[in-house]
Structure 1
Amino acid sequence: MQTLKEDVRQSILRAALREFKSHDYTDASMRRIASEAGITTGNIYRYYKNKEELFEALVKPVYEKLIEYVLNLKKELDRSYTGGNHGLKYLNMVEDTVIGLFDAYSAELTILMNRSAGSKYVQVKSDMVKLIATIMEDVFTSGRDNADKLTIQQRQSALMLAGTVVEGICLILREHEDGETVKRLVNEFIFLYYLGNEHRFTP
């Protein structure tokens, strides 16, 4: 009996993955998920009390990993920044984070970054923008110790450039599912992005 319940739960999760990849959290339908899983809508609520709980069951593991990676990345930035032209190095660290998560949670990462509007995870994208903006600011001022020297224009530029990076990565995740293709495109995007803005990364 327990095995049957677990089979049903896994069917629900698989159906939910497909639904949330196709629809934002707000527009996703528990009825469609139940139908895809081959159960009644009433039965799905025996496993997940609402859409929020089901969404969380899918994306919480990748969200927790993302937060862990972001915190480690921030520590690395604070520890290792010694001035000089480290813009590409730090962008590559962001790239490694995205690729590492995609390897383990391809569909879930895509949902988290592209389909979480209306959920409590909607801030994930803006959190990534803030992190990358911090990297840009460090490069502009040759280190966090000089953050008070940032001009308003530099802060605006950092946010704009960071938003471009995050949106570019989200587009790649949204349009491609093959791991090797995602890796190649993210790597190419980061490199071309850096080349296009190299003058900004040079102290």
Structure 2
Amino acid sequence: MQTLKEDVRQSILRAALNEFKSHDYTGASMRRISASAGITTGNIYRYFTNKEELFEALVGPVYEKIVAYILDLKKELDLSYTAEEKGLKYLNMVEDTIVALFLEYSAELTILLNRSAGSKYDQVKEHMVGLIVTILEDVFTSGPQNAAELKDSERQSARMLAGTVVEGVSLILRENEDGETVKRLVNEFVYLYHLGMGCRRPN
């Protein structure tokens, strides 16, 4: 009986994944999800209290992984000594992280970054930008202990670059589903981003 319940739960999650990817959080219909899963709408509520809980079950673990990866990346970078080393390691780790997450959670990651408006993850991009800003500020100043020395123009640059990373990745995921295509585009994006970092004029 427990195995049967888990099968039904997984069927609901698969149907919900397709629904949220096609219609985003606000437009998703529990009725369409239940029809796709082959169960009654009322039966869904035996497994998930509401649409929000169902959405959380799908994208919550992926969001936690993204935050954990970014924080681990920051710790790793703090072991570097120069801004140039940090910049290169940052870009390489961002590339590896994006590709690894996409290969394991392609639909969930796409939904989280592009289809979560109206949910508790509505501000996920803004949160990710904030986390990346702290990393870039470290890169600009060669360490968190020097963050107070940042000029306003440098803080603005960090925010602009962080926003570029998040929006660039979102665009790649939104328009591509093939793993090899995503990997190629991420590689190209990281390369161009690195050129931009290298050409950044001193403030």
Runs of 4+ in 1 over 6 A off after TM superposition: none
Q: State the match for 2:142 in structure 1.
A: 142
Q: Which ranges of structure 1 fall in alignment gaps of 5 or more residues?
A: none
Report the CA distance shift for 1:71/1:84 in structure 2 as closer, same or farther (over 3 A). Answer: closer
- Residues 33-182 of structure 1 correspond to what in structure 2 (within 5 A)? 33-78=33-78, 80-86=79-85, 87-182=87-182
Report the CA distance shift for 1:137/1:36 in structure 2 as closer, same or farther (over 3 A). Answer: same
Q: Percent identity?
A: 74
* Offset at residue 93 of structure 1 (A): 1.2
Please state whether the residue corresponding to 1:200 is helix, strand or coil: coil
Q: Which ranges of structure 2 fall in alignment gaps of 5 or more residues?
A: none
Report the CA distance shift for 1:20/1:99 in structure 2 as closer, same or farther (over 3 A). Answer: same
* Offset at residue 54 of structure 1 (A): 0.7
Partners of 2:48 and 2:155 in 1: CA distance: 43
Partners of 2:8 and 2:139 in 1: CA distance: 51
Partners of 1:11 and 1:100 in 2: CA distance: 25
* Offset at residue 202 of structure 1 (A): 8.3
Counterpart code for 1:73: L
Shifted more, 174-183 versus 126-135: the winner is: 126-135
* Offset at residue 59 of structure 1 (A): 1.3
Compute the RMSD of aligned alpha carbons: 2.0
Q: State the match for 1:195 in structure 2.
A: 195
Please state whether the residue corresponding to 2:146 is helix, strand or coil: helix
Does the aligned pair in 1 maintain the 2:83–2:141 contact within 8 Å?
A: no
* Offset at residue 195 of structure 1 (A): 1.0
> If the length of structure 2 is used for normalisation, what is the TM-score?
0.90
Report the CA distance shift for 1:200/1:143 in structure 2 as closer, same or farther (over 3 A). Answer: farther
* Offset at residue 201 of structure 1 (A): 8.3
Counterpart code for 1:75: K
Partners of 1:62 and 1:56 in 2: CA distance: 10
Please state whether the residue corresponding to 1:85 is helix, strand or coil: helix
Count of residue pairs brought into register by the alignment:
202
Please state whether the residue corresponding to 2:189 is helix, strand or coil: helix
